[in-house]
């Protein structure tokens, strides 16, 4: 970004997330009180964080130069998320979510790989995905896709 420019693209994207959050809140009208808790929380959080991002960017001092991101990483991110969504029903929630999370970390990591870092990523990803699976499947009793694997 050049001196004096603002991040209009990011602010526009944040406005889109505000709209998605409003749509999520509006869509909870037909849900039961318990069934609407999660969509309302996510919709509210989307609105809150998107507005915070817009305010942050408005008052942020423009920087002289920011490095451009990698288009290959952006395409890989979209491809991994698309594959996750397409394979979710056939393979199963836990396995596809674990694989997608690990692949996303592989794509997103900019630091040099070490055995310790890789082990930490694998262990923490396994814990987070398994924990979320347990909360949704057993705590909230959300029917998650089982697929051929679990």
Question: Which of 16, 31, 59 is the last residue in one of the domains?
Answer: 59
Number of domains in the chain: 2
At 144, is the pLDDT very low, low, confident or very high (cuts 50, 70, 90)? Answer: confident
Measure CA 39 to chain center: 15
pLDDT for 66:
53
In which region does residue 128 sit, left (phi positive, over 0), alpha (psi from -120 to 50) or beta (all else)?
Answer: alpha
Of 71, 78, 22, which is closest to residue 50 (Cα–Cα)?
Answer: 22
How far apart CA 96 and CA 82 sit, in angstroms, is: 11
Please state, in angstroms and rounded to a whole number, the distance separating the CA atoms of residues 134 and 150.
12
Question: pLDDT band for position 22 (50/70/90)?
Answer: very high
Give yes or no: residues 107 and 79 share one domain: yes
Structural domain contains residue 2: no
Residues 130 and 88 in one domain: yes
Q: Which domain holds residue 127?
A: 71-139
Is residue 100, in this structure, part of any structural domain at all? Answer: yes
- The answer on 43 and 77 residing in a single domain is no
Q: Last residue of some domain: 32, 59, 86?
A: 59
Cα–Cα nearest to 149, from 101, 84, 93: 93
Q: What is the pLDDT of residues 36-73, one digit of tens each?
A: 788 888 889 999 999 998 888 877 766 555 555 678 88
**Beta carbons within 10 angstroms of residue 141's beta carbon:** 9
Q: Indicate left, alpha or beta for 92 from its phi (over 0: left) and psi (-120 to 50: alpha).
A: left
Specify whether 39 is located in the same domain as 96. no
Mean pLDDT score across all residues of the chain: 83
Helices of type H across 92-140: 93-108, 115-134
- pLDDT tens readout for residues 81-134: 999 999 988 888 889 999 999 999 988 887 888 899 889 999 999 999 999 888
**Quick one: 28 and 75 in the same domain?**
no
Cβ pair 115, 128 in contact under 8 A: no
Same domain, 42 and 75: no
């Amino acid at each position: 970004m050049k001196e004096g420019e603002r991040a209009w693209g990011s602010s526009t994207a944040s406005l889109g997330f505000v709209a998605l959050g409003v749509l999520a809140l509006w869509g909870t009208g037909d849900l039961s009180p318990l069934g609407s808790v999660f969509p309302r929380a996510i919709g509210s959080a989307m609105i809150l964080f998107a507005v915070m991002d817009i305010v942050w960017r408005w008052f942020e001092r423009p920087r002289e130069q920011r490095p451009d991101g990698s288009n290959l990483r952006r395409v890989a991110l979209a491809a991994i998320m698309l594959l996750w969504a397409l394979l979710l029903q056939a393979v199963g929630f836990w396995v596809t979510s674990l694989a997608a999370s690990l692949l996303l970390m592989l794509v997103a990591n900019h630091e040099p790989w070490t055995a310790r870092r890789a082990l930490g990523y694998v262990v923490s990803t396994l814990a987070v995905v398994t924990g979320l699976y347990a909360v949704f499947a057993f705590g909230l009793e959300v029917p998650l896709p089982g697929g051929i694997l679990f």
